């Protein structure tokens, strides 16, 4: 099974899509829509300080009657971020994401964010791994 670093290396978009904590939630929503993603890394002075997701928006802005133009990302972001390491295996990341009920996992090494993986990225890699394993087993059985 691949490591998180290997999965990141095969993602199609370049760079880390992020926002500063002092920006309005409205700006974060524009970025989410533009890139068609569900979460943004919140970066301050080059360091990951939180994650802003569609879930944060729904729970902390809409349901509480706040304005997305006057509320800052830092007011509603998830600040206790669960992260993965580049050498973690996909299987381990999936277990963490399911156990913690999270959909996005920043990959961090020495306080530097390398990228973000979604549950979709992890699931896609797991399915590919299982299909390859099945094909190898079928080949072994038929030989």
Q: What domains sit in the chain, N to C, each tagged with a CATH number?
A: 4-142 (3.10.580.10)
Q: What's 94's DSSP letter?
A: H
Question: 116 with 107: CB under 8 angstroms?
Answer: yes
At 106-141, the pLDDT tens digits run: 999 998 999 999 999 999 999 998 999 898 888 889
- Predicted TM-score (pTM) of the model is 0.87
Rounded Cα–Cα distance for residues 38 and 46 (Å): 21
Question: 77 with 51: CB under 8 angstroms?
Answer: yes
At 61-83, the pLDDT tens digits run: 999 999 999 999 999 999 999 99
């Amino acid at each position: 099974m691949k490591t998180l670093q290997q999965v990141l290396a095969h993602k199609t978009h370049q760079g880390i899509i992020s926002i500063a904590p002092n920006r309005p939630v409205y700006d974060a929503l524009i970025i989410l829509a533009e890139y068609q993603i569900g979460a943004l890394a919140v970066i301050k002075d080059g360091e990951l300080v939180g994650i802003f997701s569609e879930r944060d928006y729904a729970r902390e802005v809409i349901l509480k009657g706040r304005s997305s133009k006057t509320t800052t990302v830092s007011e509603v972001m998830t600040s206790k971020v669960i992260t993965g390491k580049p050498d973690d295996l996909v299987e381990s990341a999936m277990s963490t994401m399911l156990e913690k009920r999270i959909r996005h996992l920043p990959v961090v090494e020495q306080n530097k964010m390398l990228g973000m993986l979604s549950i979709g990225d992890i699931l896609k890699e797991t399915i590919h791994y299982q299909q390859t394993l099945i094909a190898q087993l079928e080949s072994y059985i038929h030989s």
